[in-house]
Amino acid sequence: MNILKGFIVLLLLLFLTQCGFFNDKTDEKPLAKVQNEYLYLSDIKDIVPFNMDPQDSISFVKNYVNNWVQNKLILNTAESNLKPEQKDFEKQLTDYRNSLIIYTYENELVRQKLDTIVSEEDISKYYEENSQNFLLKDNIVKVIYVKTPLRTPNLNKIKSLYVSDDEEDLVSLRDICEREAVNYFMEDAWLVFSDLLREIPIKTYNEEVFLRSNQHITMQDSLYNYFLNIKGYKIKESISPLSLEIENIRNIIINKRKIELIKKTHSEIFKDALEKGSFEIFMD
């Protein structure tokens, strides 16, 4: 009952403060005081969530008030124990404000003028010129992978189709997989080999040796048949394929353009001010 009563009071105070009932804080009952500073409900009305249940709302306000008191006490203690020069942050605040203004201006400049369209030609050219910067962190593979229950109607057909490179055979295999497979992968895309091993109960202590020594793998456990055709692989620390690096390269190119745009703008501002005599440097 006390919680409900407190919640009703809290809602009433919030309603009154938001409706402008309290025109002067002297009309309000303070929530807390530290020395000559007061905290009123109207000070925190915008941060009190209205979707909380009564108990949580009361707890929220109490926690906020306690934190406010503690922070004020610590701040007052710090103020009284520091020398005036230790509390002078005017230069730092000015520098911080200036940095924020420049940062905001540069972001707006980038938003308005940065060319974010990166062509396939741009990506291919960057990849060719910087391919040594794109080294694989994992072994990767291109595969055809099929997982079926032990009793599968087209088991023999799957065995003959999964090793084929013929397009019609792969269409037939995909049709069977859609009807009978527990899981399968037939995309022309690179996979991290260690991720694939989580799907297939292959035991190997050396992935590189396994990849160099195996291409077509058929195996089963107590529940499933597994078929794996390793169509291609790349060993870690070798150059990563372009298809895996497209987004990475696109972001690199856009970031380089961003840096160049900002640098060019800075230079133009300086050049324009120099021509107009907008500044002087008093140094020999």
Alpha carbon 64 to chain centroid distance?
30
134 C-beta neighbours (distance < 10 Å), count: 17
Cβ pair 146, 218 in contact under 8 A: no
Q: Report all structural domains of the chain as residue ranges with CATH numbers, in order of start.
A: 2-81 (no CATH), 131-234 (3.10.50)
Cα dihedral value 207, 208, 213, 214, nearest 10? 50
pLDDT band at 22 (very low <50, low <70, confident <90, very high): very low
Confidence of residue 13 (pLDDT cuts 50, 70, 90): low
- Tens of pLDDT, residue by residue over 124-145, are 999 999 999 999 999 999 999 9
Average pLDDT over residues 2-6: 52
What whole-number distance in Å separates Cα of residue 60 and Cα of residue 49?
Answer: 9
Instruction: State mean pLDDT over 247-276.
Output: 95
